[in-house]
Amino acid sequence: MEFKDPQEGLERFWKRLTVAGSFVLLCFGLLFARIFWLQVIQNNYYTTRAEENRISLVPILPNRGLILDRNGVILARNYSAYTLEIMPARISGNLDAAIDELATVIDIQPKDRKRFRKLLEESKNFESLPIRTRLSDEEVAKFIAQRYRFPGVDIKARLFRQYPFGDFASHLLGYIGRVTDRDLERIAIEDQDANYRGTNHFGKTGLEQHYEFELHGISGFEQVEVDAGGHAVRTLKHTAPIAGDNLILTVDAKLQEIAEQAFGDRRGALVAINPATGGILALVSMPNYDPNLFVDGIGTSDWDAYNSSPDKPMVNRALNGTYPPGSTFKPYMALAALTYGKRRPEQAIADPGYFTFGDYTFRDDKKGGHGMVNMYTSIVQSCDTYYYMLANDLGIDVIANFMRQFGFGQKTGIDLGVDGTSESEGVLPSPEWKKKRFRKPEHQKWYSGETISIGIGQGYNAYTPIQLAQAVAGLANNGVIHRPHLVQAIVDARTGEQKTLEIAPPRAIVLKREHVDIIKHAMIGVNKEGTGARAFAGAGYEAAGKTGTAQVFSLKGGQYKENTVKEELRDHALYIAFAPADKPLIALAVLVENGGFGAQTAAPIARQVLDYYLLGKAANAPAPADKNPGEEAR
Amino acid sequence: MNPAWNPRILWQRFVAPIDIPLLVIAAILLLIALAMVGSASPERINNQLINIGFALVVMRIVAQVPPQRLMNLALPIFIVGVLLLVGVALFGDISKGARRWLNLGFVRVQPSEIMKIAMPLMLAWYFEKREARLRLSDYLAAAILLLIPTALIARQPDLGTAILVFAAGFYVIFLAGLPWKIIVGTAIAAAGAMPLAWGMLHDYQRARILTLLDPQTDPLGKGFHIIQSTIAIGSGGILGKGWGQGTQVQLEFIPERHTDFIFSVLSEEFGLLGNIVLLVIYALLIGRGMMIAAQAPTLFSRLLAGSITLVFFTYAFVNMGMVSGILPVVGVPLPFVSYGGTALVTLFIGIGVLMSIHRNRMLVQK
């Protein structure tokens, strides 16, 4: 056996041990440097990260403000109901499989799935989305018992918007729906991002849209400590939400109901205004739709039904329908004639039943004509020839300038909707308008012949019913025009305190009072002995009115020729009125699409509305029924 | 009176093999362990007390065994260990995607754990046997003895244990005097072979390795652990948030917080100060172990003590390194602190061996 020097071996071992020891120190030094870096130098950053982990800000949605009519009838309210919600981000594995599994416990229809899919596509981030809404108590209990099987699925109590009368006043109320990208833009513009963090619904049309930020309220916040699973462990701070403001409307729900019922199955619009204030008393566009269907996202079949209906229930005819005013234009024409001194009231013309201008012959409705016609009879009997001649004498520029003062062809600025499309401008014909409207030079020229039919409210004339109502209210108010509006007051939901509402100052048209009185006198005559006499026989008040019949034609391309109007399209019936004639409390415009003569269909609707409003007579119209009883707020 | 029944003598006999510095260091670590488990998972504190009691008993028994006996046991234990590892590979139970346990009918064993002791024992024995006529080929033989069990464990797969077993064996070879030329040459060769090996891997294997190296690429999966533990450490600051006050820990953002990630509990709740204390205690433990190795009388006991000591270091460094985000996450517990009985018993067997070597430092030379 050969022996190595044990001392040499030991020294070599000690050397190695020293190397190892140095390595240990080096590694521990490295470790210390890392820990020092994290705990001292980066401490602030990681403290923030830990806090972000720990604390979650949960927005608490404020109650949306109510919408009430002038008498306190609730037109839009909220109720609390349970929804079954899925957080897609928390679902491990296949979402469809998870929903299949869920369907074994809770009834989930194909339409629920479809709606959920749609919501999923539209959803902003990893928010919780409802798969089922309005769960019954039994369903809630059933799910709670099985909840452990469904991570990422939970029951939530949410407030739902409800329109208790269903398809009633829908075009003025509008509706709310899930927040979309477009809504987010509006929220960003209004600098409301923080306030809307937890908000799922947004006003889409009507008052709900226009007053979105008043109705919404201020979101509260709850600072909660959450664990890694996202479950709230405890609440650190609670800031209560502030409920949205209530809207008190100028609208009289009963009047609205009577007006809507008066339409029956007919399509059309009615706008009733308090001439002294511009407050809208009723704003009808028939048919209505049910705004309740939109709140949770409308189902495909309902949507298709509304969209494909030839009655176009989604169109707000009062603001977006543009119609020639027909003979309802005549009182303003007569007023223009007086104002510009082109006619004296007693000055009469001989009406042969037509008016010839160049090669064209413009016919009066009445074959053979009305005989000798002065201003009074021209309105009472609605003589066309008188106005053909008058229009020719006034000229298009004078007509356009005069009518513009009454708001014809301009948006009224009513507090409905927000975007440019919620109200149409209509067309106040003038050479300037034509220049703008058409591109080809040969189309841009104004022909004097075109002025003639303007005088009887035909031709390019196209106005919305709300413009007609605003004009007749202005006339009733002797030329002082208040901007039409629906909201009388915005009220703090808690304190009942009224908030100031910006109301545009009225505009006054320079008119001679005796001229206005002449026109009013003639309009009273319409209902006494003229075209409105049958509809207003036996009324207990004096109403001033004017019937109108508008020929249906297309404005497109401007290739208007009177005798090429499609025959199968019946004329629109119109009626404007105010009452009581001496001290008007209400002014209105009625339009019945394809209703034929205004005297036949439109005037009787106006009669019912005026009867109720002035006499309290409800012509066999029952009170609007709450279509959703028992769903009152829990 | 029979001296065997004299309580004082009995006590003296009982404490004789115990090295007080080692015991004190271990005791401090155990107290830290109880404090951490008590914060991260209070319901496990009783279990951990039982584990500790059992481990201390094992330590005392091992401390009684003289190094000469250990040497005699080296070869049989190693052979049994390798056979069991082969058995695991063939018949092992699968749990959590890995085949680590072998059911022997009456008991389930984890042979890789045995290997942590058997490996340094075997190699130390081998070098002791070859001490007088050590050749380069002996290092090769040792390398083969090292690589076979390591490969078997790595295949289970149990990367953490494979690293520890490999480290234990490598330390023996290194301390036995493996020439620097070979160490450096092998390192260079391994580095050179890496691109080649990389080219031979499948895409999914590469992806796995990349996640292992950079967990941030998988923030919700593997990366979640490490991101959250880094936040826990960083937010602890200098003084920590206080015992039981660490939000990352208490709100369960730290997975495995009572086992492999318990270091983040200490870091969050006791801050840099707590970490310095822990590092100092580990340094003391390693220093004491090295002192014992340096004083050991035989090559076998020197190598064994040195290897066990450096394995303690490896445990500590790899664990703290992975929890603080400078090393890839492999399953290595924080020695003496992480919850769990098996690892604790293995560690205290190591302590017992160190104590035994220390007690017998004078005997053989005479």
**Per-residue pLDDT tens for A222-273?**
888 877 766 677 788 888 889 999 999 999 999 999 999 999 889 999 999 9
Domain presence at residue B272: yes
- What percentage of chain A carries pLDDT values higher than 90? 46
Size of interface A-B (CB pairs under 8 A): 130
Nearest chain B alpha carbon to A48: B235
Per-residue pLDDT, averaged over A434-451, amounts to: 87
* Model confidence pLDDT, tens digit, residues A60-78: 888 999 999 999 999 999 9
Same domain, B289 and B268: yes
What pLDDT is stored for residue A215 in this prediction? 93
Please give the Cα distance from B31 to B28 (Å, whole number).
5
Residues in chain B with CB shorter than 8 Å from the CB of A54 are: 247-248, 251
pLDDT band at A109 (very low <50, low <70, confident <90, very high): confident
Residue B98 region, left (φ>0) first, then alpha (ψ -120 to 50), else beta?
beta
Q: Which of B200, B229, B254 is the last residue of a domain?
A: B200
Peptide bond into A287 cis (omega under 30): yes
Q: Coil, strand or helix: which one is A162?
A: strand
Cite the active site residues of A.
327
What pLDDT is stored for residue A5 in this prediction? 66
Same domain, B33 and B154: no
Q: B279–A28: do the CB atoms touch at under 8 Å?
A: yes
- A2 shares contact with chain B (CB less than 8 Å): yes
- Tens-digit pLDDT string for chain B (366 aa): 566 678 888 888 888 899 999 999 999 999 999 999 999 989 999 999 999 999 999 999 999 999 999 999 999 999 999 999 998 888 877 776 677 777 777 777 788 889 999 999 999 999 999 887 888 889 999 999 999 999 999 888 888 899 999 999 999 999 998 999 999 999 999 898 888 888 877 777 777 777 777 777 666 666 778 888 999 999 999 999 999 888 888 888 888 888 899 999 999 999 999 999 999 999 999 999 999 999 999 999 999 999 999 999 999 999 999 999 888 888 899 999 999 888 899 999 999 999 999 999 875 443
Same domain, B226 and B363: yes
Domain presence at residue B3: no
Does residue A585 surpass a pLDDT of 70? yes
Domain presence at residue B205: no
What pLDDT is stored for residue A554 in this prediction? 40
What pLDDT is stored for residue A307 in this prediction? 86
Same domain, B219 and B358: yes
Shortest alpha-carbon distance between residue B149 and chain A (Å):
24
Residues in chain A with CB shorter than 8 Å from the CB of B302 are: 13
Number of structural domains (chain B) is: 2
Select the residue of B132, B177, B251 nearest A3 (Cβ to Cβ). Answer: B132
Domain presence at residue B275: yes
Nearest chain A alpha carbon to B322: A31
Provide the sign of the torsion angle of the four alpha carbons B145, B149, B152, B157, taken in this order. Answer: negative
Q: Which of B146, B165, B200 is the last residue of a domain?
A: B200
pLDDT band at A192 (very low <50, low <70, confident <90, very high): confident
| Residues near A57 by beta carbon (within 8 Å), at least 6 away in sequence | A197, A221, A222, A223
Domain presence at residue B206: no
Largest Cα separation within chain B, whole Å, is 77
Please give the Cα distance from A163 to A165 (Å, whole number).
6
Instruction: List A residues 144-203 in contact with B (Cβ-Cβ < 8 A).
Output: none
What pLDDT is stored for residue A180 in this prediction? 83
Shortest alpha-carbon distance between residue B235 and chain A (Å):
4
Per-residue pLDDT, averaged over A84-89, amounts to: 80
Shortest alpha-carbon distance between residue B287 and chain A (Å):
8
- A60 shares contact with chain B (CB less than 8 Å): no
Q: Which of B149, B166, B200 is the last residue of a domain?
A: B200
Same domain, B166 and B229: no
- A126 shares contact with chain B (CB less than 8 Å): no
The CA distances from residue A509 to A339, A395, A477, A480, A522, in Å, are 11, 20, 10, 6, 20
DSSP bridge partners of A162: A77
Q: B317–A31: do the CB atoms touch at under 8 Å?
A: yes
Residues in chain B with CB shorter than 8 Å from the CB of A16 are: 174-175, 177, 306
Does residue A631 surpass a pLDDT of 60? no
Does residue A110 surpass a pLDDT of 50? yes
Same domain, B114 and B254: no
Select the residue of B171, B233, B251 nearest A35 (Cβ to Cβ). Answer: B233
Same domain, B321 and B360: yes
- Give the sheet arrangement for strand A280-286, strand by strand: A280-286, A268-273, A586-592, A572-579, A544-550
Domain presence at residue B8: no
Is this prediction's ipTM beyond 0.85?
yes
Query: Which of A16, A23, A25, A226 best tests the B interface by mutation, with the highest count of B CBs <10 A?
Result: A16
- A91 shares contact with chain B (CB less than 8 Å): no
Q: A1–B132: do the CB atoms touch at under 8 Å?
A: yes
What pLDDT is stored for residue A122 in this prediction? 66
Query: Which of A5, A7, A31, A91 best tests the B interface by mutation, with the highest count of B CBs <10 A?
Result: A31
- Pick from A42-56, A117-131, B317-331: least confident: A117-131
Which residues span the domain enclosing B31? 20-64+215-366
Shortest alpha-carbon distance between residue B241 and chain A (Å):
10
- Pick from A333-347, A509-523, B43-57, B101-115: least confident: B101-115
Same domain, B299 and B226: yes
Select the residue of B174, B234, B267 nearest A42 (Cβ to Cβ). Answer: B234
Residues in chain B with CB shorter than 8 Å from the CB of A231 are: none
Q: Are B150 and B165 in contact (CB under 8 A)?
A: yes
Q: Coil, strand or helix: which one is A51?
A: helix
Same domain, B133 and B219: no
Select the residue of B251, B317, B320 nearest A233 (Cβ to Cβ). Answer: B251
- A11 shares contact with chain B (CB less than 8 Å): no
pLDDT band at A325 (very low <50, low <70, confident <90, very high): very high
Select the residue of B228, B234, B302 nearest A38 (Cβ to Cβ). Answer: B234
What pLDDT is stored for residue B320 in this prediction? 96
Nearest chain B alpha carbon to A13: B175
Q: Are A405 and A516 in contact (CB under 8 A)?
A: no
Name the one residue in this structure whose structure tokens are 């699409």: A593
Nearest chain B alpha carbon to A92: B220
- A43 shares contact with chain B (CB less than 8 Å): yes
Q: Which of B303, B309, B336, B341 is nearest to B127 (CA)?
A: B303
Q: A34–B299: do the CB atoms touch at under 8 Å?
A: no
Q: B174–A233: do the CB atoms touch at under 8 Å?
A: no
Same domain, B250 and B300: yes
What are the CB-based long-range contacts (under 8 Å, 24+) for A25-32? A25/B283, A27/B313, A27/B317, A27/B321, A28/B279, A28/B282, A28/B283, A28/B317, A30/B326, A31/B279, A31/B317, A31/B320, A31/B321, A31/B324, A31/B326, A32/B275, A32/B276, A32/B279
Shortest alpha-carbon distance between residue B326 and chain A (Å):
8
Helix axes B136-154, B159-175, angle to 10 degrees: 170
Peptide bond into B17 cis (omega under 30): no
Per-residue pLDDT, averaged over A596-620, amounts to: 83
Q: What is the mean pLDDT of chain A?
A: 85
Name the one residue in this structure whose structure tokens are 């499989």: A97
Does residue A568 surpass a pLDDT of 50? no
Q: Are B177 and A19 in contact (CB under 8 A)?
A: no
Same domain, B219 and B164: no
Nearest chain A alpha carbon to B305: A17
Please give the Cα distance from A581 to A496 (Å, whole number).
37
What pLDDT is stored for residue A126 in this prediction? 52
Domain presence at residue B12: no
- A97 shares contact with chain B (CB less than 8 Å): no
Shortest alpha-carbon distance between residue B31 and chain A (Å):
22
Q: A24–B283: do the CB atoms touch at under 8 Å?
A: yes
- A24 shares contact with chain B (CB less than 8 Å): yes
Token digits of residue A44: 């602030």
What pLDDT is stored for residue A561 in this prediction? 41
Same domain, B314 and B331: yes
pLDDT band at A622 (very low <50, low <70, confident <90, very high): very low
Query: Where is mean pLDDT largest: A155-159, A378-382, A572-576, B306-310?
Result: B306-310
Domain presence at residue B268: yes
What pLDDT is stored for residue A255 in this prediction? 93
